């Protein structure tokens, strides 16, 4: 008899986990609140994209989806910084185009993963919302779109039902999970830069007219993650394969500018005219989008416990939602899926030890990426303009070239490797200390003593495992 697993949530992490477990011989049932997006369209309808990095690709490869997703993904080779005076500069993420991140549509990705899960043998039940769990009876109540309830029994439950997890609430009612949510004092709003042919000619700038004559699809450089850093706040834009960009405005909730003051589309237009002037003519529906789209909230979710013995486990955002600034929420969740599938495969009839191992292995890594994601907000919105930051960045590049496999930029370890996040975090701290020591009081690379640099690196950083 195949061991049974019941998953709650067929979002990105749930669908990948279902695929990997079904591939490994488990009888997998999945209950998903929303209707099947392959039939009803992806809810929301807006093009929302995500940045996929190496950890995410690894999960997709195991699911057999690399080629299918590869065709839909737009390469982002670096950060395109839009300075207040309108000039731009590309800061590459890696050494060459083999080191890039990729923008993919959430809807397309989720649908591909649902196909893969079903092809592997998982059974997905849509329009089934988890409402309550009866731990004594090993059953749960599910409700359909008309709120009609049914009771379903289970043997082992895995919650991949996202940051607002209903399974987490049901587990917390049975035991103290040590749950803590730390809100960020900043929120976000999504806007859109349409493809050039969808921008009304009436509002064209001369640059847009030239782009239209050339037949350009994208209004700004497609192969980059665009950032408008403005100190305490910022805008970003990620390309969509059909030619548009999803723009996200990140602002403090209070203060000026802040969402408490920038309340209406008209307020937002005034803010863009002042601070994001080069983007403004590219966002024709600014007012409409701003008024129609909700203001997203951000924060970090920490739990002391992710599992209830061998009976239930939380994974993905349900266990460790993080702030978005490293673009690693999904990537980290895919790593959860891969590690869990491996652990359960090796102990198919001992979920208790698999779950305990999972938490032991993953929790330090989840905590590390949570911390690094918070730090990357400051780095994205603020430090790009600072002269000393630029010197440290140049020095980092130089040391990385001098000591390959030893001094490796933290961004690279997080984004282009599968080294544990906790290792990237720890080595990153050591490297930052070295950069600070070497650059203290210096204004130029030529003033830095490379013999000291070599010595500090050899003393404090062991070679990375290959
Ligand atoms: P989700 O994707 O939220 O899926 C949860 C699923 O559970 C959903 O399908 C939901 O309908 C279902 N569900 C919820 N409640 C119930 C219930 N009671 N019963 C049954 N089903 C239920 N990460 C990156 O790595 N890179 C990025 O660039 C990036 N960009 C992002 C942009 C935005 C706008 C947002 C909001 C997040 C972004 N993230 C990104 C984070 C990423 O989206 C999440 O980390 C990832 O989706 C987590 O996957 P999940 O499956 O755990 O949760
Ligand atoms: N998530 C991302 C990065 C790092 C880019 C860099 C940052 C939007 C709600 Cl804010 C953000 C990154 O350091 O140069 N890679 O991928 C994705 C990001 O935000 C996503 C799109 C987002 C939640 C809104």
Residue nearest to atom 7 of ligand 2 (CA): 325
272 and 314 part of one domain:
no
172 and 37 part of one domain:
yes
Give pLDDT tens digits for 396-421. Answer: 999 999 999 999 999 999 999 999 99
CA-derived radius of gyration, the chain: 23
Residue nearest to atom 46 of ligand 1 (CA): 330
> What pLDDT score does 389 carry?
86
> What pLDDT score does 74 carry?
98
Q: Stretch 420-440: mean pLDDT, rounded?
A: 98
> What pLDDT score does 385 carry?
66
Cβ-based neighbour number of residue 210 at 10 Å: 11
For ligand 2, the distance from its centroid to the CA atom of residue 327, given in whole angstroms, is 4
190 CA: nearest ligand 2 atom: 24
Q: Stretch 234-249: mean pLDDT, rounded?
A: 98
CA distance 389 to 395: 10
Cβ-based neighbour number of residue 195 at 10 Å: 16
With bands split at pLDDT 50, 70 and 90, how would you rate the model's confidence at 384? Answer: low
> What pLDDT score does 61 carry?
98
147 and 288 part of one domain:
no
Give pLDDT tens digits for 289-303. Answer: 999 999 999 999 999
Return the residue matching tokens 């009888």.
Answer: 27
- Residue 87: inside a domain: no
49 CA: nearest ligand 2 atom: 21
Number of domains making up the chain: 3
57 and 173 part of one domain:
yes
Question: Cβ(410) to ligand 2 under 6 A?
Answer: no
CA distance 210 to 215: 9
Structure-derived torsion over alpha carbons of residues 334, 335, 338, 342, reported in degrees to the nearest 10? -160
> What pLDDT score does 41 carry?
87
Asked if 31 and 130 touch (Cβ cutoff 8 Å), the reply is yes
Which residues, at least 6 apart from 418, have a Cβ–Cβ distance to it below 8 Å? 54, 55, 58, 335
CA distance 282 to 60: 33
174 and 234 part of one domain:
no
Question: Cβ(13) to ligand 2 under 6 A?
Answer: no
- Residue 282: inside a domain: yes
pLDDT at 466 over 90: no
Question: Cβ(383) to ligand 2 under 6 A?
Answer: no
Written as six digits, the tokens of 278 are 């080069």
- Residue 249: inside a domain: yes
Give pLDDT tens digits for 350-372. Answer: 999 999 999 999 999 999 999 99
With bands split at pLDDT 50, 70 and 90, how would you rate the model's confidence at 315? Answer: very high
- Residue 88: inside a domain: no
Pocket test for ligand 1, best of 12, 303, 372 (most atoms within 8 A of CB): 12
Least confident of 21-35, 151-165, 378-392: 378-392
With bands split at pLDDT 50, 70 and 90, how would you rate the model's confidence at 43? Answer: confident
Give pLDDT tens digits for 267-288. Answer: 999 999 999 999 999 999 999 9
pLDDT at 45 over 60: no
Residue nearest to atom 14 of ligand 2 (CA): 79
- Residue 84: inside a domain: no
pLDDT at 44 over 80: no
Question: Cβ(225) to ligand 2 under 6 A?
Answer: yes
- Residue 94: inside a domain: no
283 and 239 part of one domain:
yes
Which residues, at least 6 apart from 119, have a Cβ–Cβ distance to it below 8 Å? none
CA distance 335 to 17: 10
pTM summary value: 0.98
161 CA: nearest ligand 1 atom: 7
200 and 262 part of one domain:
yes
Pocket test for ligand 2, best of 44, 49, 51, 163 (most atoms within 8 A of CB): 51
Residue nearest to atom 51 of ligand 1 (CA): 13
Burial class (CB in 10 A: 0-12, 13-18, 19+), 309: exposed
Question: Cβ(248) to ligand 2 under 6 A?
Answer: yes
138 and 279 part of one domain:
no
360 and 393 part of one domain:
no
Give pLDDT tens digits for 50-101. Answer: 999 999 999 999 999 999 999 999 999 999 999 999 999 999 999 999 999 9
pLDDT at 383 over 70: no
pLDDT at 349 over 80: yes
> What pLDDT score does 345 carry?
98
Give pLDDT tens digits for 102-130. Answer: 999 999 999 999 999 999 999 999 999 99
- Residue 466: inside a domain: no
> What pLDDT score does 49 carry?
96
Domain end position, chosen among 282, 297, 312: 297
Q: Stretch 195-220: mean pLDDT, rounded?
A: 95
429 and 321 part of one domain:
no
CA distance 398 to 402: 6
CATH number of residue 125's parent domain: 3.50.50.60
CA distance 151 to 6: 13
With bands split at pLDDT 50, 70 and 90, how would you rate the model's confidence at 382? Answer: confident
240 and 346 part of one domain:
no
**Which ligand is the nearest neighbour of the Cα of 410?**
2
- Residue 100: inside a domain: no
> What pLDDT score does 114 carry?
98
Percent of the chain with pLDDT over 90: 94
Q: Any idea what the Cα angle at residue 335 is, between residues 237 and 351, rounded to 5°?
A: 145
Q: Stretch 150-159: mean pLDDT, rounded?
A: 98
Domain span at residue 168?
Answer: 4-72+105-182+299-376
Pocket test for ligand 2, best of 78, 163, 251, 324 (most atoms within 8 A of CB): 324
Mean pLDDT of the chain: 96
121 and 205 part of one domain:
no
The number of residues making up the chain comes to: 466
> What pLDDT score does 46 carry?
67
Question: Cβ(380) to ligand 2 under 6 A?
Answer: yes
With bands split at pLDDT 50, 70 and 90, how would you rate the model's confidence at 390? Answer: confident
Domain end position, chosen among 325, 344, 376: 376
CA 373 vs CA 232, 252, 369, 392: distances in Å: 16, 17, 6, 20
Pocket test for ligand 2, best of 44, 54, 80, 327 (most atoms within 8 A of CB): 327
Domain end position, chosen among 376, 404, 438: 376
């Amino acid at each position: 008899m195949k061991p049974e697993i019941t998953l709650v949530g067929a979002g990105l992490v749930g669908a990948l986990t279902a695929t990997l477990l079904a591939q490994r011989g488990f009888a997998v049932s999945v209950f998903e609140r929303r209707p099947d997006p392959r039939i009803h369209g992806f809810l929301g309808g807006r093009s929302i994209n995500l940045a996929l990095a190496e950890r995410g690709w690894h999960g997709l490869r195991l699911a057999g989806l690399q080629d299918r997703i590869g065709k839909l993904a737009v390469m982002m080779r670096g950060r395109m910084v839009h300075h207040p005076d309108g000039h731009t500069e590309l800061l590459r993420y890696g050494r060459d185009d083999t080191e890039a991140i990729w923008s993919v549509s959430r809807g397309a990705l989720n649908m591909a993963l649902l196909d893969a899960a079903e092809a592997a043998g998982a059974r997905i039940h849509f329009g089934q919302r988890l409402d309550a769990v009866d731990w004594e009876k090993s059953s749960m109540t599910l409700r359909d779109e008309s709120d009609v309830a049914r009771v379903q029994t289970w043997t082992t439950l895995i919650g991949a039902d996202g940051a607002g997890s209903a399974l987490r609430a049901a587990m917390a009612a049975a035991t103290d999970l040590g749950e803590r949510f730390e809100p960020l004092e900043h929120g976000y709003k999504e806007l859109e830069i349409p493809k050039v042919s969808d921008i009304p000619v009436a509002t064209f700038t001369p640059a847009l007219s030239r782009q239209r004559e050339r037949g350009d699809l994208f209004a700004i450089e497609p192969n980059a993650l665009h950032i408008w850093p403005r100190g305490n706040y910022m805008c970003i834009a990620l390309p969509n394969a059909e030619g548009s960009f999803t723009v996200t405005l990140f602002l403090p909730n209070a203060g000026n500018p802040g969402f408490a003051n920038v309340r209406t589309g008209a307020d937002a237009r005034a803010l863009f005219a002042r601070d994001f002037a080069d983007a403004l003519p590219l966002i024709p529906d600014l007012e409409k989008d701003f008024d129609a789209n909700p203001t997203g909230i951000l924060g970090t979710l920490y739990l002391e416990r992710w599992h209830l013995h061998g009976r239930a486990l939380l994974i993905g955002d349900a266990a460790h939602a993080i702030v978005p600034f490293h673009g690693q929420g999904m990537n980290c969740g895919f790593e959860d899926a891969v590690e869990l599938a491996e652990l359960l495969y090796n102990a198919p009839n001992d979920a208790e030890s698999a779950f305990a191992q999972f938490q032991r292995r993953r929790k330090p890594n989840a905590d590390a990426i949570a911390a690094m994601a918070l730090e990357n907000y400051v780095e994205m919105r603020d430090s790009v303009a600072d002269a000393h930051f630029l010197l440290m960045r140049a020095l980092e590049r130089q040391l990385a070239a001098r000591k390959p496999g030893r001094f490796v930029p933290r961004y690279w370890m997080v984004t282009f490797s599968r080294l544990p996040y906790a290792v990237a975090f720890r080595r990153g701290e050591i490297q930052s200390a070295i950069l600070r020591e070497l650059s203290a009081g210096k204004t130029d690379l030529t003033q830095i003593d490379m013999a000291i640099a070599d010595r500090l690196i050899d003393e404090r950083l062991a070679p990375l495992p290959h």
